[in-house]
Each structure stands twice: as C-alpha cells, then as structure tokens.
Amino acid sequence: MSKLASGRIRLSAEEIYAHELSALAAGDKLARPANWRLSPKAIVTYILGGKAADGTPISAKYVGNRRLIETAVATLATDRALLLLGLPGTAKSWVSEHLAAAISGSSQRMIQCTAGTDENHIRYGWNYALLLAKGPSREALVKSPVARAMEEGTIVRLEELTRMGSDVQDTLITILSEKTMPIPELNDAIEAKRGFNVIATANNRDKGVNDLSSALKRRFNVVVLPSPATLEEETGIVVKRVLEIGSSLELPPIRPADEELVRVVTLFRELRDGKTLNGKTKLKSPTGSLSTAEAISVGVSAWASAAHFGDGAMTAESLASNLVGAVVKDPVQDTVALQEYLESVVRTRDGWSDLYSAIREVL
C-alpha cells in the first residue's frame, strides 16, 4: 500500500528502507554493540550506500565525507553523545533519523526542541488523575522519549537542541554523564540500559538559538556536517532527493528536469556565497540560508506546478515563483539582492533569458 493510500504523507526511515536494513542485518556477521541492530560497519554502508552481503543494493542516504559518518557511528558506540552541527540544510536531521533507524530499528524516539520545551519534556511529567488517586508512583509517571529510550536501551533524537533554553538544556547533563535520570519524588531513578545514547542536532546561524553551556558541550562529541563542496555534488543531492520526494508524494511524472535543477543550485550557490561561480562578480547575499534543503523544496514544488498546470516539463515559469519565494524572506533587502543578481548575472548569462523573464514577471 502506498503512503498516500494509507493516509500517511511520510513514512519513517526504518519503514521506507526496511528491505535494505533487513538485507544488511541478515549478512552482518561483525560485532555489534549491545542492543544495536547492525554493526558499525554495516551502518556506515547503510548511510553511504553500497551492497549487502547477498548483493542487495544499498542506496546512499547521505552524500559526503565518509570519515564524518564513521566518526558519528563510532561515537555512538561509546558512552559519548553525538551532536551533529552545521548550517541549515546540511542534512543533520536526515542523518540523525537514519542513524537511529539503523542502530535501534526506530527513529521515533524524538524531541523537537523549541523555546517552549521545558524540563518535563526532557525528563518526565505526571498523570494527575493517578497522582491524585494514588499519590506519586511509577504508574503515575508520564515518561519522556528520553526516559523511554533509557529504559529500552535505544537512541533518542533531540532536534534543534539550541532552540530550547539553556537551563532546560542543562537537564541533560546528569543523563549524559551518569546515564541516570533521578526521580526525587519517588526517591528513585531511571537507569539507562546499554545501547542508550543521544543524537542531537543544532545550527548556530538562525536567530533565536541558545548557546550550549561548556558543561553540556563536554558531554557531546561534535561532528560538523558541511555544505556540499562543489556544484556537481550539490546538484547530485538535489536531483536525487527531488526524485525521491516527488515519487513518494505520487506526483504525476514529468520529463527529466536535471538541467533546470542545475540552474536552481547555481542560483542558490552564487547568492549564498556572494559571488558568481567564476568569482568575477560580487553579489549581495539575501538574509535566508538558501540551503540545499531549500533547493530541494523548490524542485519539488516546481515539479508539482509543471505536472498539474504545465505540459509535463519543468520550465523557467514553473521555477520562478518558487525561486522567488525561497530567496525573498525580507521583502525589501532580499528583493534588492535578487533584482541586482538578475540584472548583473542572469540577464547576460547564455541560456538563462527565459529564467530572467519569468522571475521578472513574478517580482
């Protein structure tokens, strides 16, 4: 049954790639840390792609430096927590989800950190009906995903760790250092089983982030996920993910759109870097991050426009409004930056006249 037919827009990593995980597990004869579904080496193969022992092809979930992924997996095999750090759109959450799926068989133990996240979201709360009826007890506890992961010996994910307040962040210190969660109301504690660990993600570019305390930083091993190094690498990621997402959403098929997606990535890289690819023209950079993830979103939206309102081909017209929406976050500053880029670069670039006209119409 398809995802849309089952009423779900998105399946978890362990559901989408269940066949690959099963094939890797069947042929994995290497040592595994306690409560891990796969060995560290098999997990790296699952993330970066390759083949299972029986020849089953394993698709690449992340395109980048192998050493970074090996370091991340090795960290989780110790008692150190893992912090994936990077600019928006560098696949931190994507890597976090797949690591949890491969290690624990589930990526669902997750907390989305926000300014409203409080200590109860990290530790536990109370079922007040039971609390009033029977007083404090284990049965009255409402356990957080962290507490449940500790009991199960599995991975828990903390997305955008720096979004929640510093005082709440420090709730993690005892959990990460002592592997225990005190319950003072019961004179008791939740002790972590072997296999428990934390994968956190964070970026330090967006507004509204809170610095991690030095005490908490020491509990994490930090792996920085960089932006794609080259135009070719980033284009490959965007083309692959647009195809995967569009197919999963069951969008009507369109003709190959690789050339149009190259233009999206080129435009994003040049505005993001503040200069053209050849370095000859300096540009104003918009206020937004113009990340790889946003380029993927533009590609998927343009696919939907081309499929439902066009002739089945992604064109400059189907790209234009989505490009403007991605670039222009500040109506004044970003519009000026995009207009200058259009006049100084796009207007005179060979083969881009249609994109110039389409974006000018939207602006």
pLDDT of 280 > 80? The answer is: yes
Give the model confidence (pLDDT) of 141-171 as tens digits: 999 999 999 999 999 999 999 999 988 999 9
The average confidence (pLDDT) of the chain is: 92
Identify the helix (H) or strand (E) that includes residue 197.
strand 197-202
pLDDT of 301 > 90? The answer is: yes
pLDDT of 105 > 90? The answer is: yes
Which pLDDT score is estimated for 5? 45
Which pLDDT score is estimated for 208? 63
CATH superfamily ID and name for 13-224: P-loop containing nucleotide triphosphate hydrolases (3.40.50.300)
User: What tokens were used for 88?
Assistant: 């928006």
User: What tokens were used for 250?
Assistant: 């069951």
Which pLDDT score is estimated for 207? 60
User: What tokens were used for 167?
Assistant: 């005082």
User: What contacts 294, CB < 8 A, 6 or more positions away?
Assistant: 89, 268, 288, 326
Q: What is the dihedral of CA 209, 214, 219, 225, to 10 degrees?
A: 50
pTM of the model: 0.88
Q: Where exactly are the structural domains of the chain?
A: 13-224, 231-362
pLDDT of 6 > 90? The answer is: no
